A = this chain, B = another copy of it.
Amino acid sequence: MNASDESLMTSPNAAQRPPPAEPVPEAADGSSLEGRMLGRLLARLGNPELEFLLWTGERIAPAGTDPLCRVRIPSRAVLLSILSDPQVRFPDAYSDGRIEIEGDLVRLLETVYRASARAPAPMGFSRLLAHLRRPHVNTLAGSRANIHHHYDIGNPFYQLWLGQTMAYTCAYYPTADTTLDAAQTAKMDHVCRKMRLRAGERVVEAGCGWGTLALHMARHYGVKVRAFNISREQVAYARERAEREGLAGQVEYVQDDYRNISGRYDAFVSVGMLEHVGVENYEELGAVVARSLGDNGRGLIHSIGRNYPAPLQPWIEKRIFPGAHPPSLGQMMRIFEPWDLSILDVENLRLHYAQTLRHWLELFEAASAEVERMFDAKFVRMWRMYLAGSIAGFTTGTLQLFQVVFATRANNDVPMTRAHLYTR
């Protein structure tokens, strides 16, 4: 219905620089071949408020706009590369330092996203390309490889910018001035209260990250947790932390796939794993949920989502999150409907994820010299692009964040209202 995911710069982009004060060469009106090609590109994007500045000095911008940002393209070779597959090659060119972006990166991406939501339906070629791109499949072995790619690049790197909680998912901001760490803690409480956890209950967690939620549930709600994760770095970190904090008797971290969850539990929780499951596996995930829960079972699944089914931006899928797919709410229902699970509550927290990402990006920029020492300059630009693009995704509604609370059909032990979530 709209072309946002077909847009060229789709997700992340540019450098954190102020608009330039330097004199720019005299403007051209897109009359060269390159200019006409970029003009068509801008039209396909819905004419966002940005300007291309070519190596010839030519400037191309949508007519009548006052550009928010400028993209400097240094050579015909770079331009042709970008035009051949803009969704992937544009962010690659930025990561490699072959193009420069002047102006605020997040604003640039927001203008592209907003414009592309108004743009005409995507062209056949882009649609074809999207179909040809098969995302990395999530078989048991495929999932291990996909998760290893992102989550096993080193805990010290993530410690630089995720804050104290090491929670790598959308936080919850009860007020506008809540700090990142407080918002991550508030998110965990929001999740636990939505599930109405009670002391002595058994909880299974699918995809536990660095183990923070599992420890929080055990410590503050008195439950016993089995937490599954296939990232060996994360599991090692989580086990060490549980030992250190004296909670190893209450929390068991299992380095295994969610498909291998066994046993019966009072609640099932998964925060930020569904993005890595793949729609083709949702019914099987639902089978795991259904067999894990007794008659009064309930649970919560928290995931990035979309307004309608669409593949993940291909650069993100290729470079950052192989195999990832944020589902529409309709797609998420494939988890629940085959198993007669009742949806009790859905909350969309997309603006909370934008705020979380702003906090992460701020910490990331503050640590960028350290990140560059750990990896290299290209890595820094790539991750900057990914974080900034994600902010723009959530602020423009290209991405959503769904928290879905569910229960088994037979469960009438559910609260009549949600007032208990908002009173202490």
Chain A positions near chain B (C-beta within 8 angstroms): 1-2, 114, 117, 172-174, 176, 307-309, 328-330, 333-334, 336-348, 350-352, 395-397, 400, 402, 409-412, 414, 416-419, 421-423
Given contacts A1-B340, A174-B417, A176-B416, 6 further A-B contacts (CB under 8 A): A173-B416, A330-B330, A344-B347, A347-B418, A395-B412, A397-B409
A307, B421: Cα distance in complex, Å: 24
Residues on B with C-beta less than 8 A from A351 are: 412, 414, 416
A1–B339 contact, CB under 8 A?
A: yes
Closest Cβ of chain B: how far from A344's Cβ, in Å? 5
> Quick one: which of A174, A336, A347, A351 has the most chain B CB within 10 A?
A347
Stoichiometry, as copies per complex, reads 2
A347–B345 contact, CB under 8 A?
A: yes
Interface of A, secondary structure class, is: mixed
Q: Which residue of B lies closest to A113 (CB)?
A: B409
Given A328-B333, A348-B345: A340 and B422 interface contact (C-beta under 8 Å): no
Q: Which residue of B lies closest to A394 (CB)?
A: B412
Q: Which residue of B lies closest to A415 (CB)?
A: B351
A345, B194: Cα distance in complex, Å: 14
A308–B395 contact, CB under 8 A?
A: no
A308, B286: Cα distance in complex, Å: 13
Given A395-B412, A422-B422, A422-B423: A333 and B340 interface contact (C-beta under 8 Å): no
25 A-B pairs (CB sep. < 8 Å): A117-B409, A172-B417, A307-B409, A308-B338, A308-B340, A309-B337, A329-B337, A329-B343, A330-B334, A340-B397, A342-B350, A343-B348, A343-B402, A344-B347, A344-B348, A345-B346, A345-B347, A345-B348, A346-B346, A396-B409, A396-B410, A397-B409, A397-B410, A418-B422, A419-B422
Residues on B with C-beta less than 8 A from A344 are: 347-348
B173–A341 contact, CB under 8 A?
A: no
Q: Which residue of B lies closest to A344 (CB)?
A: B348
B117–A342 contact, CB under 8 A?
A: no
Q: Out of B307, B341, B397, B418, which one reaches A337, CB within 8 Å?
A: B307
Q: Which residue of B lies closest to A400 (CB)?
A: B342
A343–B340 contact, CB under 8 A?
A: no
A402, B333: Cα distance in complex, Å: 14
Residues on B with C-beta less than 8 A from A414 are: 351
Closest Cβ of chain B: how far from A251's Cβ, in Å? 29
Given A397-B409, A417-B174, A422-B422: A337 and B352 interface contact (C-beta under 8 Å): no
Residues on B with C-beta less than 8 A from A336 are: 307
